[in-house]
Amino acid sequence: MLAGKDFVDVLLSFLTLPLGTIARLVAKESNIEAVKFGSISSLYQSVKDLDQKYLWNPTCKEMVLNPRNSMEGYCRKLRLNIDDTEPVEYFFCENFECNSSVEEGKNCLSLFRNKKCGCGKVVDILKLSLVTKTPLTDFVFKKNPFPLQRKQSELRVREVKSDNARQISVKVVRRKSTGEILFVEAGEDFIDFVFSFLTFPFGGVSHMLEGFSSLNCIDSLYKSVSKLSPDIYLMSQGVKEKLSNPLITAQFELSNQILPIRTVPLPVYYYNYCHTYLSKSHFHRFVTTNAAITTHKPHGYSSVPLNLVDPKFSSSKSSSSGEYVIGPSIYMVTDDLVVSPISSFNAISHLNSLNVPLLDVEERVVRIGLNEGLGILKASLTSTSALTNGLNQFIKTTIKEEK
């Protein structure tokens, strides 16, 4: 298939989209029906359904459900941009004296509201890239009916060594007869971890999985970037590097992230203002990240560095608490990554819904590290049994021995 620059730009932009944005886009009706994005779709829906009282503040839910694209500036210049996330806005105190103050704790800037001091056809291609191996053929020749979910298969990840000793303990509840993971009981650290999947850009996930995400066409798209010459096909080497390993947008990262995904460095913002020639009571005001503008100030011009407000901050939050969800608390996470507060009623109801007798249930404590985390992430892209397919290769089992 021959394609022009605009179409290739759109395909490459898929790699920059956070998984949460993809889950939101493909859940909408377009020219084809909504599709299910592995366990990511159910994870996204469970965040929407989770009562606000389990999160530190309303912004935490907004950040997970509407994660920002670290290459937003690149995507907004495209002729077709399917990312419907609201562009970054800047909010600061209306009190001019506060903004222009050099006192510590003042002149604060927030990238989120209410914090105290596309194109349907392109979405169709994105949907098809998640559920078929030939999305362009299926799209052009209008294959009908379209598959709405990828066929599941057992997924394995290549074990890697890591210097990162961080691990999370969870209680795994399994079915003894099959090895199927029914649900896990976990604290807020594991919930923050799975919520963070929604903030990962697709290309960043492909980079961590070394181009083997089990989504064949996305893997091919990712690997094709390495073959494109920045001198001929791309704007610069910098753009190629960003497409090869898109980063998480600043402030969306976890401080204790298990997985090796990097974050865009947080810039220093400056609040700039100057008096008008007509009156000192009228000001021209703007925000910039360019420190050089402060070196040659015209008459009446002032510039003050701003303190960026942490969007996950809560006055009741301790250093040992979770980052998105309130802790210490225990939650239940089902095989397809649906998150809900744990209770005896919820657990028994879930087992009953699966027709699993209590005599066929066992519990194991499992530590989630780099390999286990990558296993869950990879399985969540294509399977609605993300925990079973992602963890069972790391859980020592005696099922075969018993047989």
* pLDDT tens, position by position, 314-343: 776 665 555 899 888 899 999 999 999 998
Q: Considering the domain boundaries, does residue 290 fall inside one? A: no
Q: Considering the domain boundaries, does residue 252 fall inside one? A: yes
Give yes or no for a cis peptide into 145 (omega within 30° of 0).
Answer: yes
Q: Considering the domain boundaries, does residue 60 fall inside one? A: yes
Query: What percent of the chain stands above pLDDT 90?
Result: 42
Specify the pLDDT at position 67: 93
Instruction: Say whether pLDDT at 401 is over 50.
Output: no
Angstrom CA distances, 362 to 249, 287, 334, 346, 387, stand at 40, 57, 15, 17, 15
- DSSP label at residue 246: P
Q: Considering the domain boundaries, does residue 294 fall inside one? A: no
Mean pLDDT, range 52-70, rounded to an integer: 90
Quick one: which H or E segment has residue 371?
A: helix 370-382
Residues 6+ apart with CB under 8 A from 161: none
- Alpha-carbon torsion (388, 147, 132, 10), positive or negative: negative
Specify the pLDDT at position 275: 58
Tokens of 317: 């939050």
CA dist., res. 351 & res. 292, Å (int): 62
Q: Considering the domain boundaries, does residue 314 fall inside one? A: yes
Average pLDDT, the chain: 82
- Whether 252 and 195 have beta carbons less than 8 Å apart is answered as no
The number of distinct structural domains making up the chain is 1
- Whether 271 and 92 have beta carbons less than 8 Å apart is answered as yes
Q: Determine the residue type at 357.
A: P
Report pTM.
0.84
At residue 271, φ and ψ (nearest 5 deg) are: -95, 115
Q: Considering the domain boundaries, does residue 356 fall inside one? A: yes
Query: What percent of the chain stands above pLDDT 70?
Result: 77
Which residues face 333 on adjacent strands? 184, 339
Whole-angstrom distance between the N-terminal and C-terminal Cα of the chain? 52
- Whether 215 and 130 have beta carbons less than 8 Å apart is answered as yes
Centroid of chain to Cα 344: 30
Q: Which domain holds residue 222?
A: 5-150+164-269+306-402
Centroid of chain to Cα 343: 28
- Whether 67 and 252 have beta carbons less than 8 Å apart is answered as yes
Q: Considering the domain boundaries, does residue 286 fall inside one? A: no
| pLDDT confidence tier of residue 369, bands split at 50, 70 and 90 | very high
Specify the pLDDT at position 59: 87
Q: Considering the domain boundaries, does residue 177 fall inside one? A: yes
State pLDDT tens for residues 67-92. 999 998 888 888 888 888 887 776 76
CB-based burial, 100-122: b 16+ in 10 Å, e otherwise: beeeeebbbbbbbeebeeeeeeb
Mean pLDDT, range 111-132, rounded to an integer: 74
